[in-house]
Structure 1
Amino acid sequence: MDANYGGMVFDDTERRQQLQNSRYNGIDYIEVDTTPGETHQRVLRVYFIAPGPGAPAGKVDTLLDDLHDNIDAFEILGGDRVRNIRVVSVTRVEDHLELGVDRPGDFSEYRLRITYGGGTPPDDFPLDLFYREAAFNFKAGCPARFDCRRPSIAPPESEADIFVDYMAKDYDSFRQALVDLLPRLIPDWSERRAADQGMMLLELLAYVGDQLSYYQDAVANEAFIETARQRVSVRRHARLIDYDMHEGLSARTVIHIRMAMGGMVLDAPSGGDRIVRLTTQSQGLKLPHLIPSSREDDALNSAGAVFEIKIKDPDVLRFHEKLNTLTLYNWRNQVAYLPTGATQADISGDFAGASEWQLRPGDLLLLEELVDPYTGESLTADPNRRHLVRLTDVETIEDTFGGPPQATVTRVHWAEEDALPFRIWISNVTDDGIFLEKVSVGRGNLAIADEGRTYGESMSVGKARDDEKRPHGKDEYYPQPPDMVDWKGSKLGERAFRFTLNEGPLAHSIPLDAMIHKPAKALFDDDPRHAQPAVHTIQSYTESTYPDRPRNWRIVPETLLNSDRFAEDVVVETDNLGRAQLRFGTNEYGAIPDDDSVFKVRYRVGSGAQGNIGADKLNYIVLYDDIGAMQNISSVRNPLPAWGGSPPESMAQVKRLAPAAMRRSLKRAVTEDDYARVTELHDRVARAVAQFRWTGSWHTVFIRVDPKGTTGVTPELRADLIRHVSAYTMTGYDLEIIDPIYVPLELSLEICVAPGYFPSEVEQAVLDVLGNRRLPDGRLGFFHPDRFTFGQTLYISRIYAAVEAVTGVTSVAITGLHRQYAAAADAETEANLARGYIEIGEFAVVRLDNDPDFPENGILHLSMLGGNA
């Protein structure tokens, strides 16, 4: 049989057999008394696992005697309509216990747990932690048409859709997209030579795609011709109508640092930062994977891509050899996996202690498939089965079975936003009976790296010192005076000062500071409009302040109009070549630099889609001599493909999009439609509609909200929505957030089952497809809350299509479809079938939960014909 414990689904046959021959015991199953009368659904018969031939004598009798008449040792959890059911009596009857309860429960699943007086049983109490509780249903005696056998522990998952890169716009990107698609469509085709006939056809398709893409851009651009040809000018024109022109985004990836021995802490010097560089394979240059600092320039100049880990004070990165590979704990079962949507996992060992290197909330954890869960081959392991999460809680628990010694397990949790998008196998048994223990593992020792290369550049006011510009990788970035500058610059007066950096294109990236306490999903934000220029520091000196008293200039977005005359602010703009231009103030909006100033600027260069390298391509790291612990590194790699790399927004795009953008971005709420649209800007709202009502002394805006993933607006969401919408509202208008008007339906179907199929199994499949929950393979049920919203018409053809797609269904007929509790149900059904759809009011939402505990939320009737008896 399959079981669920700690968020993990598995087959517990192996553990059950071991338990029978040990001194430990646990709940086997629970029966509910269905005898008519006073005891009906008020008596639970609890049976314990029968002892095996190797078990101690009297094993079950001892446990029954200990629990006899001990009502504090039991608690009943769960329930939808009936909750907090209490155990009022415990009596031993031969080989089982009879528990009296104060009232029967509802149709939902309950769990009986042995709490031993409200706490954890002591070590000498022979009760297994795994079997201390069991599920049961008070309505188990009610008539049932379905097979009680549980379905397969691992139902097949739906195949992932083929990824289509809609950003491919030129020959190279089209060709790369086709090359990436080939292994999916034709796994045996590995030929990549240019002379190959298949590659010739592929490149021909890429050429045609390039011509079509150019044709599309040319036609669009011809419709919006403007005079501006400089990027800075186009940016400023767009800014006047609140359109932010983006400068692209640097690729980002996750780095796994494997330690050979001991640990390492990477931190930044006080008040500064530290940069660690990694590269892809060097082109034509043979270098070890661990590059000595003496050969850094050779490696970086010949590398295909350079990534950097930037540690800014007071950031600290911790690495340790014990975090290289974390074994996922299967609770001594052979078949176990983490299901889709899981938000926790168990790791074998203690990794939640007080040591500096151990796991703690906020750490990143990667779950990675090592071998094929069905064949055990590492070569066929799915590289897409790798998922990054950020831990929210780390705790240690003990598996008391099998001790001493007891198994120490570390349970880690992550946020719902990081829930697994696919199944992660922990262990499995192949068709040949081979036990695969470490199908997937966890990886610690993770860091985030951004694509690009940092340069240090010195410049005097009025003259750039090109001969002093050089890339940096250590702590000494610039030469010292008098070699650096002669301190003879220009007098600035009261005019704005600006200068252009020599290297480009300037990198732009989304700051990591705001993501430290957010789920790992936030790291995958690839919206370039959220990016900031990667200018690390801008410092200016005069001859009297060098080197201890610099002026530290702060980058502000887009404009200096919000800066006062003392603010040391600077705006970063890019020219047509992607080089950064630094624009300072005028002593009215932003301060002006001192006369005869010398600037030291550190900035990162590199952005665009070329940084989106594949997984396991970043294998070289520069070992800096001043970080001695780096010598303990064994290897590095990027287990996930780099993401987010995108080029700057072209001038043609801005000219085409900016004039209409001001109409798309809503800045205020005046009309009813405005209130609905600003409410929908909230990330937890699927749809909203608004109404104005005069409530006696003022207007009130009533906003009906259809939340994502659920049917009700929680108090927390309601308060958050009021704060959100209040930023757009007019003075004198009150806000009320209310639930939608749900229209429960009553649907009756007559289904013909194909020969060779059991009607009960087909009926269960139809109930799942027409349900309101997420299916095990990740699909949404037909009546899931996210499938319907305000005023959405329910077309009968969609019901037919959903049911007829179920395996074993030959035909289906709708015999009843009307609003629940309709006065003339037959007449309404006839009208709906004649129209082919059900009309829903503007503020109403279709609902059919088919929940026996809440029949008022819609009912589904199925009549099964044919099939095997």
Structure 2
Amino acid sequence: MSIDRADLLRASTTLTGIDFVAVSPSQTVLTVFLQHDVLPAAVAAQLAALAVEDIHIEAIGAVDPVRVPVIQSASPLPAPVDGRAVLQFLTAMPGGFGDYRLRIDSPVIDPYFNNIRFSFKAACDSDLDCEADPRACPPDEQVDFPVDYRARDFWSFRRALTDFAAQRYPDWQDRLEADIGMMVLELTAALGDEFAYANDRLSREGRLDQASQRRSLRHLARLVDSQLDDGAGAFAWIDVQASAAGVVDAGTAITDAQRQLVFEIGRGLADQPLASPPQPPAKFAIDPARNEIAAYIWDENDTCLLAGTTELTITGAHEAQLQPDAAIDAEGRWVLLMTRPPSPDVPERRLVVRLKDARDDVDPLTSAPITRLVLETPAAFDLDLETLVLRANLLPATAGAAHQARFRIGPPDGPADPDAVLPMAVERVGADSTVCYPDPGSPADLAARVKTLFSLAGSDETPLVWHADPSGALHPEVQVLCERDTSAWQWQPALVGETTAEPDDRFFTLEDGLYHRVVGFERFGKVTELIDYATGEGTTLRFGDGVFGMAPAAGDRFTVRYRLGNGSRGNAAPDTLTVLPVAVPGVVSVNNPLAGTGGRDPETAQAIRTNAPQAFRAITYRAVQPADYARIAERDPRIQKAGATSRWTGSWPTMFVTPDPHESTAVSPALRKDLLLALDRARQAGRECKLMAPRYADFDLEIRLCVAANAYRGEVEEAALAALFGKPGQGGGFFDPDNFTFGMPLSRAALIAVLQGVPGVCGVEAMRVRRPGYFEWRAFDELSLPVGLSELVRVTNSRALPERGAVQLIMEGGA
């Protein structure tokens, strides 16, 4: 049993010991601190009688001087220092640069706390640590064995360990699998196999060029602000032939003859709301009166609907039947225009258009009832009215099949729980720990940040469908409902990102891969399963953890509905979707007259490795130079050009950005706010951003042209104006606003080159220029007219706005 000798010594009445030595600044006075605070009387009497010959100070190693004599010892004993008993000695000289040992020959000094090591130079300034190095045991003898560093799996590790055992333990020769030594050896080899696999996987998944798991590629791409393309689901129009008026529910399945492709009526899960209590799906009306309507021919000599036409007349009064169906589109009804040529060598034409207007009318000559239609988009090609028919029972359809599942959070409430058979969400704490469900409200419960996951069954074989919303942003076809409070949880691309989820936000995100049973063990009738990340294919829901997004409560039940069937495979060919697996009353037949569109496969791993670094280089989210600020402003589609310049405003540098909006000379308040927010995200710290209204440099020009003898001056002048300003209503020309940017001068050579290229112009004889408010008329003989960094050259030549620059052409010569 170990003892604390210092504590025993302090309790002794016959012995004391040296604790440490303090050296005075003169390095000749030593204050020796003893173990006792108050010395026993007998010990104090012995120490007071010490002679200088009893005190020895000797150097350790090659230090000069070797011995430092003591010339005076304290008698009587000095007063305690800081409540500690001390001795004081005066030496003949300071010690050298090295360590010394102090030893006192006295029977009252404990031999263990004697012979103390100290330095006379302890008070000198030094950058070195004065604490002595701890005593270390000598290292063990190294095992000299040739290690096979190529061993990476169980069998190679087993062979390497067997070779090592044969050399290190030659007496152990039993290699039977039942031997305890072999069991330990093989367990070690299996552990090495696991470590090697984990090491290889971590090193591989941390590199963009080597990662094999899609979730690794997604996380690495996010580091450079690159978002993966998850593909998109296809869309198709379904032409329904009805035998009676009725409705078709959203979600009605339609397949091909081999039942390999599945579409569902409606525009995705938005038409199949998930709510509690359950809500019926959207319903789309069908009517036999809209099955097929022939085009009306006004004259037998006019039987062609030309490309670009936006008006069509059909036979009969159908205004009531062709009104918009709010369930499909409140703006207008979608219809199919289809020709049926009698000869197979004439191609059939099909066109899906939206009607802007439908009005009943009467042919004033024949008194035949007709309906006048206005098409939203012009006809893309010619249509033969003699064989043209209109079909108006057109319904939208989305690729994929909807699936629904229920799951619970945490274990069942007990054997009587009616939902005990529901699958339980996978839960993790930290990197890879299981949840032990601490007592509610306990410190462990409050401190736990649980990662709650639920994998979408079947998504590893058929990918999850993604759709574009009206703004063009893609979102997954997933609906999540909490049954306890009937609240719908919303999808967010990431719980931490550009928009970070708050602790009370009912958000979920999606992760790549599936979690399911990896291995199971049965013992004494009890099955223990390991549920973990099993495959990189598929999609898994991830809920918040209570810090970033709301965490689902233990005991909650959820219902999730999702659509599977993403990718280009959904771009079905025309006349493919013709089968209704379940008969619908009033429906005779279905067909997709046009091919499915919009289906797109997810971005491949190789494409991610190629595109992610390029996206990082192509779109930067930092602004340093003025050109960076201008480039960020030009990313707004409402801005055609932008300029930027930096100036010191007296307190800090300020970046002045001047945008040039499309078809406008002023920046609206909404656009100003959006631009300032975009610039503020990327600006440097300590640098302010200000938006300046665009300034225009308006020039008046007088140009004298020499016209060829065989050309008419009027035609040449018209062509010259078109070269400068473009044709009326078409834009373009030399002075088109898009040809000039901020700070770009008006080049004399470029202007002459444009005019010289006009047919009939022999040459430019002279040019005069003025800028109202800056300088009056003068000869334009310099190379270019400079403008400010925040100015744009503007010459509109508008009679209504003469202050915005004008050009006067003086034509000489000609026919």
How does the TM-score come out when normalised to structure 1?
0.48
- In the alignment, what sits opposite 2:539? 580
Q: Within the alignment, does 1:276 sit opposite 2:252 as a pair?
A: yes
Partners of 2:235 and 2:735 in 1: CA distance? 38
| One-letter amino acid matched to 1:721 | L
* Aligned counterparts, 1:269-668, within 5 A: 274-279=250-255, 282=256, 287=257, 299-300=258-259, 302-303=260-261, 306=263, 309=266, 310=268, 311-313=271-273, 315-320=282-287, 345=311, 361-363=330-332, 365=334, 379=346, 394=357, 409-411=372-374, 424=380, 437=385, 444-457=392-405, 493=437, 494=448, 495-503=450-458, 504=460, 505-512=462-469, 515=470, 525=472, 530-535=473-478, 537-538=479-480, 553-559=489-495, 562-563=500-501, 568-575=506-513, 577-593=536-552, 600-613=559-572, 616=574, 618-622=576-580, 624-625=582-583, 627-629=584-586, 631-632=587-588, 634-639=589-594, 642-643=597-598, 645-648=600-603, 650=605, 653=608, 657=612, 661=616, 664-666=619-621
Q: Deviations over 1:760-818 (max 9, x none)?
A: 77876776565445778xx9556544454444567789889988999xx5886455666
Distance 1:262 1:812, change over 3 A: farther
Q: CA deviation at 1:580?
A: 0.4
| One-letter amino acid matched to 1:509 | W
Partners of 1:324 and 1:839 in 2: CA distance? 68
Q: Deviations over 1:316-370 (max 9, x none)?
A: 5445556567889999995998897x9x756668766598656985236468685
Q: Is the 8 A contact 2:769 2:779 kept in 1?
A: no
1:727 pairs with one of 666, 677, 681? 677
| One-letter amino acid matched to 1:379 | V
- In the alignment, what sits opposite 1:232? 215
- In the alignment, what sits opposite 1:257? 239
Distance 1:694 1:451, change over 3 A: same
| One-letter amino acid matched to 1:642 | T
Partners of 2:655 and 2:426 in 1: CA distance? 62
Q: Is the 8 A contact 1:771 1:781 kept in 2?
A: yes
Partners of 1:801 and 1:397 in 2: CA distance? 58
The number of aligned residues is: 541
Q: Is the 8 A contact 1:699 1:733 kept in 2?
A: no
Q: Is the 8 A contact 1:753 1:759 kept in 2?
A: no
* Aligned counterparts, 1:661-700, within 5 A: 661=616, 664-666=619-621, 673=627, 676-690=630-644
Distance 1:702 1:338, change over 3 A: farther
Q: Is the 8 A contact 2:425 2:454 kept in 1?
A: no
Distance 1:396 1:222, change over 3 A: same
* Aligned counterparts, 1:737-748, within 5 A: 737-738=693-694, 740-743=696-699
Q: Partner of 2:641: helix, strand, or coil?
A: strand
Distance 1:486 1:306, change over 3 A: closer
| One-letter amino acid matched to 1:362 | E
Distance 1:621 1:353, change over 3 A: same
Partners of 2:546 and 2:765 in 1: CA distance? 79
Partners of 2:362 and 2:747 in 1: CA distance? 53
Distance 1:638 1:645, change over 3 A: farther
Partners of 1:327 and 1:774 in 2: CA distance? 40
Distance 1:740 1:387, change over 3 A: farther
| One-letter amino acid matched to 2:218 | R
- In the alignment, what sits opposite 1:173? none
Q: CA deviation at 1:600?
A: 4.9
Q: Is the 8 A contact 1:250 1:451 kept in 2?
A: no
Distance 1:732 1:825, change over 3 A: closer
Distance 1:662 1:774, change over 3 A: same
Q: Partner of 2:251: helix, strand, or coil?
A: strand
| One-letter amino acid matched to 2:639 | V
Q: CA deviation at 1:642?
A: 1.2
Root-mean-square deviation (CA, aligned residues, Å) is: 5.9
| One-letter amino acid matched to 1:559 | L
Q: Partner of 1:705: helix, strand, or coil?
A: strand
| One-letter amino acid matched to 1:713 | T
Q: CA deviation at 1:741?
A: 3.8
| One-letter amino acid matched to 2:542 | R
| One-letter amino acid matched to 1:705 | P
Partners of 1:754 and 1:377 in 2: CA distance? 55
Q: Is the 8 A contact 1:251 1:645 kept in 2?
A: yes
Q: Partner of 1:532: helix, strand, or coil?
A: strand
Q: Deviations over 1:824-849 (max 9, x none)?
A: 98952x555xxxx8766544445554
Q: CA deviation at 1:573?
A: 0.9
Partners of 2:206 and 2:753 in 1: CA distance? 43
Distance 1:259 1:787, change over 3 A: farther
Q: Partner of 2:252: helix, strand, or coil?
A: strand
Larger radius of gyration: 2
Q: Deviations over 1:246-272 (max 9, x none)?
A: 2422243341424345555445xxxxx
Q: CA deviation at 1:687?
A: 1.1
Q: CA deviation at 1:451?
A: 3.1
Partners of 2:505 and 2:690 in 1: CA distance? 39
Q: Is the 8 A contact 1:759 1:865 kept in 2?
A: yes
Q: Partner of 1:363: helix, strand, or coil?
A: coil
Distance 1:506 1:358, change over 3 A: closer
| One-letter amino acid matched to 2:541 | L
Structure 2 unmatched runs, 5+: 1-203, 274-280, 412-417, 428-434, 438-447, 514-534, 681-686
Q: CA deviation at 1:611?
A: 3.9
Partners of 1:277 and 1:759 in 2: CA distance? 71
Partners of 1:400 and 1:697 in 2: CA distance? 78
* Aligned counterparts, 1:806-821, within 5 A: 809=759, 813-815=763-765, 819=769
Distance 1:249 1:449, change over 3 A: farther
Partners of 2:554 and 2:298 in 1: CA distance? 71
Partners of 1:640 and 1:799 in 2: CA distance? 50
Q: CA deviation at 1:579?
A: 0.3
Q: CA deviation at 1:686?
A: 1.0
Q: Deviations over 1:17-47 (max 9, x none)?
A: xxxxxxxxxxxxxxxxxxxxxxxxxxxxxxx
Q: Report sequence identity in percent.
A: 20
| One-letter amino acid matched to 1:620 | T
Q: Is the 8 A contact 2:241 2:288 kept in 1?
A: yes
2:227 pairs with one of 230, 242, 245? 245
Partners of 2:546 and 2:729 in 1: CA distance? 63
Distance 1:685 1:638, change over 3 A: farther
Distance 1:795 1:260, change over 3 A: farther
Partners of 2:545 and 2:591 in 1: CA distance? 48
